[in-house]
Amino acid sequence: MGLLTANYGYNIERQASELYNRNIFKKFQYQLQLTERLKYKETEKGKCYEVWAKTNQIYKPHRIRTYIVLADVTEGREQFSCICGKFNKDGILCSHILKIIVEEDINVIPEKYFIDRWRKKGVKMKLPLPELVPKTHEMLRFNILSRKSTILNSKGSKSEEVMQYLSEEYEKIDKNLELMLSETRTEANSTQSASRAQENAVESSSSTLRELPHLNDPTRVKQKGRPALPTRLKPRIEEIKQKIAREEKMKAKKSNQISPKGKAKKKMRKGSEENIER
């Protein structure tokens, strides 16, 4: 299969045409096309960017959203992640990341972002997926909460009553946050102290073991007699059959144990019944 057509003249588009299959390459080109409608701003040098849609378009988005892109644009160590999560969902880079790649003059996308599932048959590579969104990145968490608090503040400024309510809720949230943070600090301190105590206990136990004399295993006494056979679990129906058999055996035993005197009485009773019938 020949190379797919590159419409925008970027090196990354040519790279994608060599690796992606036809259908996925078309989707990649669409994301690359969307970069022309985006603007961006660097908030932290070479690490954090904000990307949003331009406002001078015919078809404007219903709401202008700002997307946070975390990146390392150092040559040879390029790494990207976006808050939209498109790569995690679809397996191709979003237009927000591609905007940073294009504007920062990056010529090659790391091959870890071309997942094996979407590659051509002849260029498949077994590479693990990168972890796109760092779970402990403070800048990303701050930006997410800032956007949410801005929306709440805009709503809360509509009237005095709403402002008073939001202010009281903020105070409650502040108290709860202080409690959570204090608990977290306490847990961290207790974990550290527990680890220290465990280390000390291990050291003391190892020193105690070194002081103990060598103990031999006790002599084993051979058991007398034949070992007991293992008992088999009986099913319910078998238990019922055995019970009925025991009852019949007991009845037969009782009938055989009737005395001669009793037999004579039984015979006389039977004869009298026959005379009455006559």
| In the chain, alpha helices (H) | 11-19, 22-34, 86-90, 95-103, 138-156, 160-211, 236-256, 260-277
Q: Is there a contact between 94 and 87 (Cβ–Cβ < 8 Å)?
A: yes
Largest CA distance in the chain: 129
> How many residues are recorded in the chain?
278
pLDDT in tens, 56-100: 888 777 788 899 999 998 888 889 999 999 999 999 999 999 999
pLDDT in tens, 94-153: 999 999 999 999 999 998 999 988 888 777 665 555 554 445 566 677 777 877 888 888
159 or 2, which is more confident: 159
**Which pLDDT value is given to residue 271?**
64
Q: Which of 41, 43, 62 is nearest to 52 (CA)?
A: 41
Q: Global pTM?
A: 0.47
Residue type, 83: I
